[in-house]
Structure 1
Amino acid sequence: MIEVKDLRKSFGNAEILKGITTTFEKGKTSLIIGQSGAGKTVFLKCLLGIFNYEGGSIAYDGKILAKLSEDEKRNIRAEIGMVFQGSALFDSMTIAENVMFPLRMFTKQSKSEMEDRVDFVLNRVNLENAHNKMPSEASGGMQKRVAIARAIVNKPKYLFCDEPNSGLDPKTAIVIDNLIQEITDEYQITTVINSHDMNSVMEIGEKIVFLKNGLKAWEGSNETIFRTDNEVVTDFVYSSNLFKKVRKMYLEDHE
């Protein structure tokens, strides 16, 4: 579990995060959503320890991030998997070498142990025959699956995904969403996803944190978001006629 209490972050005189309090639970997919400029990326980077913050606290399973020594922070980082927006694969490495990279960085496993683990996670994301391909030879969807394999190769407790469906067609995006949710449940990972994709919200949003102007404007699930009367949320989520129709159908079915 990750616990956030009254988190505040500024750049100069501009306050970006204005006292956010929430929790992200083990074994659940949690989504951070909101318009551009809402503070989503800054929030994610604070959670990851990339940005320092002026107020509040972030705790990983009771360990307050700001109070940890550098060695303790390194131990936390070793328990984190990250899926970047553009996959961020190393162009000069094969897919297997990309996936093995965190093992080389954070473990002292033998080469055969690392190779066995790479085999396992590539099989898990249905890329069992892709070891020797270069990233340039892989489609966008394959690259995302490689990024997920790399993120989970070190058996993380925490998984962060920054816009994992960016640049993907809707069908592939659903495959990636389902894969993330399956892995989260299967390995009981605390998963936090920064997303603007409303399909992801509807498909896998077990916990949704909606940010607006640096504040937590609403939180709930993909079920309760259909029932909320919070105008800030409904204006954002149901800006399209499709979601208005979906909401109407949902409310009629649950009367």
Structure 2
Amino acid sequence: MILVENLHKSFGEAHILKGISTCFDQGKTNLIIGQSGSGKTVFLKSLLGLFQPEEGKICYNDRIYSQLTDDEKRDLRKEMGMVFQGSALFDSMTIEQNVMFPLKMFTDMSKEEMEERVDIVLKRVNLPDAHKKFPSEASGGMQKRVAIARAIVNNPKYLFCDEPNSGLDPKTAILIDNLIQEITKEYDITTVINTHDMNSVMEIGEKIVFLKDGHKAWEGSNKEIFKTDNEAVTNFVYSSELFKKVRVMYQEEDRN
């Protein structure tokens, strides 16, 4: 679980995060959504410890980040997995070497142990025979799955995903969403996803935090978001005919 209380972050005179408080539950897919400039990326990087807020606190299972020593912060970062926008794989490394990279950095495993762990996670993301391929030989969907495998190879307690569906076709995007949700449940991870993809909201949005101008404007589930009368949310979500139809469907279900 990640608990956020009254988080503020500024850059010079630009006040980006304005008193955000929320909780991201363990074993659930937690989504951060909002328009460009709403503070999503700064919020995610604050959760990762890349930005230090001026006010407020972030607690990781009762550990307050700002009160940890440097060694304790390093230990906490070892418990975090990250899926970057664009996958961020090393082009000069094979898929096996990419996935093994965090093990070499953060563990004292033997070569055999690392190879066994890489085998396990590549099988889990349905890439059992991709070890010797290079990223350039893999499709966009395969690269995302490699990025997920690399993110979970250290058995993280916390998984962060920045626009994991960026650049993918709708069918592949749904497969990636489902894979992230399945892994979240199986590993009992606290997963936080920064996304613009409304299909992700529909498919896996167990907890959604909607940001607007640096404020938390709304939070709830993917079922609740289609019923809310919050004007900021409805203006953002129902910009397409598809979501208008889904809203009507939910309203009819309620009447029945």
Provide TM-score, normalisation by structure 2.
0.99
Structure 2 equivalent of residue 224 of structure 1: 224
Structure 1 equivalent of residue 39 of structure 2: 39
- Write the distance in 1 (CA, Å) between the matches of 2:251 and 2:138: 42
Counterpart check, 1:117 vs 2:117: yes
Structure 1 equivalent of residue 57 of structure 2: 57
Counterpart amino acid of residue 196 in structure 2: H
Structure 2 equivalent of residue 11 of structure 1: 11
- Write the distance in 1 (CA, Å) between the matches of 2:146 and 2:228: 37
Structure 1 equivalent of residue 211 of structure 2: 211
Structure 2 equivalent of residue 144 of structure 1: 144
Map 1:65-80; keep pairs closer than 5 Å.
Answer: 65-80=65-80
- Write the distance in 2 (CA, Å) between the matches of 1:109 and 1:26: 27
List structure 1 runs of 4+ shifted beyond 3 angstroms.
none
Structure 1 equivalent of residue 163 of structure 2: 163
Structure 1 equivalent of residue 20 of structure 2: 20
| Aligned-residue offset at 1:119 | 0.1
- Write the distance in 2 (CA, Å) between the matches of 1:74 and 1:31: 25
**Does the residue aligned with 1:192 lie in a helix, a strand or coil?**
strand
- Write the distance in 2 (CA, Å) between the matches of 1:251 and 1:186: 33
- Write the distance in 1 (CA, Å) between the matches of 2:201 and 2:249: 17
Counterpart check, 1:175 vs 2:175: yes
- Write the distance in 1 (CA, Å) between the matches of 2:153 and 2:225: 33
- Write the distance in 2 (CA, Å) between the matches of 1:29 and 1:183: 10
Map 1:174-253; keep pairs closer than 5 Å.
Answer: 174-253=174-253
Structure 1 equivalent of residue 104 of structure 2: 104
Counterpart amino acid of residue 170 in structure 1: P
Counterpart amino acid of residue 147 in structure 1: A
Describe the superposition over 1:64-111 as per-residue Cα deviations: whole angstroms up to 9, x where unpaired.
001101110011000000000010000110000000000111100111
**Does the residue aligned with 1:108 lie in a helix, a strand or coil?**
coil
Describe the superposition over 1:6-27 as per-residue Cα deviations: whole angstroms up to 9, x where unpaired.
0000000110000000000100
Q: How many residues align?
A: 255
Counterpart amino acid of residue 140 in structure 2: G
Counterpart amino acid of residue 74 in structure 1: R
| Aligned-residue offset at 1:175 | 0.2
- Write the distance in 2 (CA, Å) between the matches of 1:187 and 1:84: 20
Describe the superposition over 1:33-58 as per-residue Cα deviations: whole angstroms up to 9, x where unpaired.
00000000000000000011100000
- Write the distance in 2 (CA, Å) between the matches of 1:208 and 1:137: 35
Describe the superposition over 1:103-148 as per-residue Cα deviations: whole angstroms up to 9, x where unpaired.
1111001110000000000000000000000000000000000000
Provide TM-score, normalisation by structure 1.
0.99
| Aligned-residue offset at 1:242 | 1.2
- Write the distance in 1 (CA, Å) between the matches of 2:55 and 2:65: 12
Counterpart amino acid of residue 126 in structure 1: N
Stretches of structure 1 that go unaligned for 5 or more consecutive residues are none
| Aligned-residue offset at 1:254 | 2.5
